[in-house]
């Protein structure tokens, strides 16, 4: 009987310690992505800022680094200097063997969001130039 009581006491102490530890850990709060408002009068620089948020929320950073870090997909830290808009659009609208098209699931980006994303990509090693209306999905 004595051994059983000790086992119960140890189990209660361990459970109490785990509970205490869980309570002192900082809690994270999930928030839904903010709704992006893109207007026709936005400058390429403004679109680039929104494009950076789209890059994060669409999950692009899971495979692509913008800091030179080696991830699953190509590093995009200099893509603005190395690729033109048409090349970027080919990758975004048609995807590759492993990257899904940006205008289809899971990202489901519309033309305005893709324009903002391209502006952000242009800013990586280059200067954003695209504006709303410059980019349309291929037929």
Q: Average of pLDDT values for 36-54?
A: 95
pLDDT in tens, 8-40: 999 899 999 888 888 887 777 777 767 779 999
Extended strands (E) in the chain: none
Of 81, 78, 77, 80, give the one whose Cα is nearest residue 122. Answer: 80
- Convert 44-53 to b/e letters by CB count within 10 Å (16 or more is b): bebbbebbbb
Q: Average of pLDDT values for 83-98?
A: 91
Model pLDDT, residue 114: 95
Homologous superfamily (CATH) for 44-123: Cytochrome c-like domain (1.10.760.10)
Ordered by start, the domain boundaries in the chain are: 44-123
**34, 53 contact by CB (below 8 A):** yes
pLDDT exceeds cutoff 60 at 1:
no
Half-sphere exposure of 27 (CA within 13 A, CB side): 6
Which pTM does this prediction carry?
0.74
Q: Which two tokens stand for residue 120?
A: 């952000």
């Amino acid at each position: 009987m004595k051994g059983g009581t000790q086992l119960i006491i140890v189990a209660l102490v361990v459970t109490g310690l785990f509970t205490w530890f869980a309570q002192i850990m900082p809690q994270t709060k999930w928030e839904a992505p903010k709704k992006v408002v893109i207007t026709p009068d936005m400058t390429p620089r403004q679109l680039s800022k929104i494009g950076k948020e789209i890059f994060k929320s669409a999950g692009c950073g899971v495979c692509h680094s913008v800091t030179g870090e080696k991830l699953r997909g190509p590093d995009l830290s200099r893509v603005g200097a190395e690729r033109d808009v048409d090349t970027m659009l080919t990758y975004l609208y048609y995807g590759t063997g492993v990257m899904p098209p940006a205008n289809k699931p899971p990202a489901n980006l519309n033309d305005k969001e893709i324009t903002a994303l391209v502006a952000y990509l242009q800013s990586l090693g280059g200067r954003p130039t695209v504006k709303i209306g410059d980019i349309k999905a291929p037929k």
